Amino acid sequence: METAMRFDLEVNQNKFLRVGGREMHAVLSVTGQGDPAEDDPTAPSDPSRLVEVLVIDCSGSMADPPTKMAAAQQAAAAAIAVLPDGVRYAVVQGTHEATMVYPATPTLATATSATRKEARAAVARLGASGGTAMGSWLAAARDLLPPSSTINHALLLTDGINEHETADELERVLHSCVGRFVCDPRGIGEGWRPADLLRIAAALHGTAEAVRRPADLAASFRESVLAALTKLLPDGRIRLRTMPYAELVFFKQTSPTIQDLTEYAERVDERTWEFATGSWGAERRDYHLCLRVTAPDDVLEQDRLAARVNLVVDGEVRSATATVLVNWTVDMAKSARIDLSVSQVTGQEDVRQAINAGCDAFDRGDRIEAHAQLAQAVALATATRDEAALEQLRHLVDIEPDGLVRLKEDLSQADVRVSIVDSVQNPLQVPAPRVPAVADVICGVCLETSPAGSASCEVCGAPFGAGPTAGLPA
Give the pLDDT of residue 247.
97
Number of domains present in the structure of the chain: 4
Rounded distance between C-alpha atoms, residue 110 and residue 185, angstroms: 23
Helix 66-81 to helix 113-124 angle (10° resolution) is 170
Claim to verify: residue 71 and residue 173 sit in the same structural domain:
yes
Greatest mean pLDDT among 34-43, 287-296, 342-351: 287-296
Q: Residue 317: pLDDT above 50? A: yes
**Does an H or E element contain 151, and which?**
strand 151-158
Calculate what percentage of the chain has a pLDDT beyond 90: 64
Give the pLDDT of residue 432.
35
In the predicted model, what is the mean pLDDT of residues 326-355?
A: 90
Claim to verify: residue 56 and residue 140 sit in the same structural domain:
yes
| Residue range 72-99, pLDDT digits in tens | 999 999 999 999 999 999 999 999 999 9
Is 429 domain-assigned? no
Q: Please check whether residue 270 is in contact with residue 316, taking contact to mean a CB–CB distance below 8 angstroms.
A: no
Cβ atoms < 10 Å from Cβ of 434: 10
Claim to verify: residue 324 and residue 354 sit in the same structural domain:
no
Which residue, of 229, 251, 285, is where some domain finishes?
Answer: 229
| CATH code for the domain in which residue 205 is found | 3.40.50.410
In the predicted model, what is the mean pLDDT of residues 401-421?
A: 87
CA distances from 32 to 105, 236, 239, 251, 252 (A): 37, 10, 16, 19, 18
Claim to verify: residue 90 and residue 193 sit in the same structural domain:
yes
**β pairing state of 182-187 and 151-158:** parallel
Q: Please check whether residue 116 is in contact with residue 91, taking contact to mean a CB–CB distance below 8 angstroms.
A: no
Rounded distance between C-alpha atoms, residue 75 and residue 52, angstroms: 14
Provide the H-helix boundaries in 296-436. 332-336, 340-363, 367-383, 387-393, 413-422
Which residue, of 229, 248, 267, is where some domain finishes?
Answer: 229
Q: In the 8-state DSSP scheme, what is residue 111?
A: P
Q: Please check whether residue 116 is in contact with residue 81, taking contact to mean a CB–CB distance below 8 angstroms.
A: yes
Q: Residue 450: pLDDT above 90? A: no
Rounded distance between C-alpha atoms, residue 37 and residue 431, angstroms: 26
Rounded distance between C-alpha atoms, residue 249 and residue 267, angstroms: 14
Claim to verify: residue 418 and residue 443 sit in the same structural domain:
no
Q: Please check whether residue 56 is in contact with residue 31, taking contact to mean a CB–CB distance below 8 angstroms.
A: no
Claim to verify: residue 389 and residue 317 sit in the same structural domain:
no
Q: Please check whether residue 57 is in contact with residue 159, taking contact to mean a CB–CB distance below 8 angstroms.
A: yes
Provide the H-helix boundaries in 384-449. 387-393, 413-422
Q: Please check whether residue 214 is in contact with residue 187, taking contact to mean a CB–CB distance below 8 angstroms.
A: no
Claim to verify: residue 207 and residue 267 sit in the same structural domain:
no
Which residue, of 337, 372, 404, is where some domain finishes?
Answer: 337
| CATH code for the domain in which residue 366 is found | 1.20.120.1690
Q: Please check whether residue 309 is in contact with residue 27, taking contact to mean a CB–CB distance below 8 angstroms.
A: no
Q: Please check whether residue 76 is in contact with residue 56, taking contact to mean a CB–CB distance below 8 angstroms.
A: yes
| Residue range 13-27, pLDDT digits in tens | 999 999 999 999 999
Claim to verify: residue 195 and residue 94 sit in the same structural domain:
yes
Q: In the 8-state DSSP scheme, what is residue 287?
A: E
Q: Residue 334: pLDDT above 70? A: yes
Domain containing 75 equals 47-229
| Residue range 26-59, pLDDT digits in tens | 999 999 987 655 555 445 568 888 999 999 999 9
CB-count burial class (<10 Å; 0-12, 13-18, 19+) for 114: exposed
Claim to verify: residue 22 and residue 57 sit in the same structural domain:
no
The model's pTM: 0.82
Is 404 domain-assigned? yes
Peptide bond into 36 cis (omega under 30): no
Rounded distance between C-alpha atoms, residue 278 and residue 313, angstroms: 11
| Residue range 237-280, pLDDT digits in tens | 999 999 999 999 999 999 998 899 999 899 999 999 999 999 99
Claim to verify: residue 98 and residue 125 sit in the same structural domain:
yes
> What is the C-alpha end-to-end distance of the chain, expressed in Å?
27
Q: Please check whether residue 472 is in contact with residue 441, taking contact to mean a CB–CB distance below 8 angstroms.
A: yes
Rounded distance between C-alpha atoms, residue 140 and residue 117, angstroms: 23
Rounded distance between C-alpha atoms, residue 301 and residue 329, angstroms: 5
Please report which confidence band the pLDDT of residue 437 belongs to, taking 50, 70 and 90 as the band edges.
very low
Mean pLDDT for the chain? 87
Is 428 domain-assigned? no
Is 432 domain-assigned? no
In the predicted model, what is the mean pLDDT of residues 399-418?
A: 88
The full DSSP string for 443-468 is -TTT--EE-TT-SB-TTT-PBTTSST
Q: Residue 117: pLDDT above 60? A: yes
Tell me the helices (H) and strands (E) count for the chain, helix number first. 11, 24
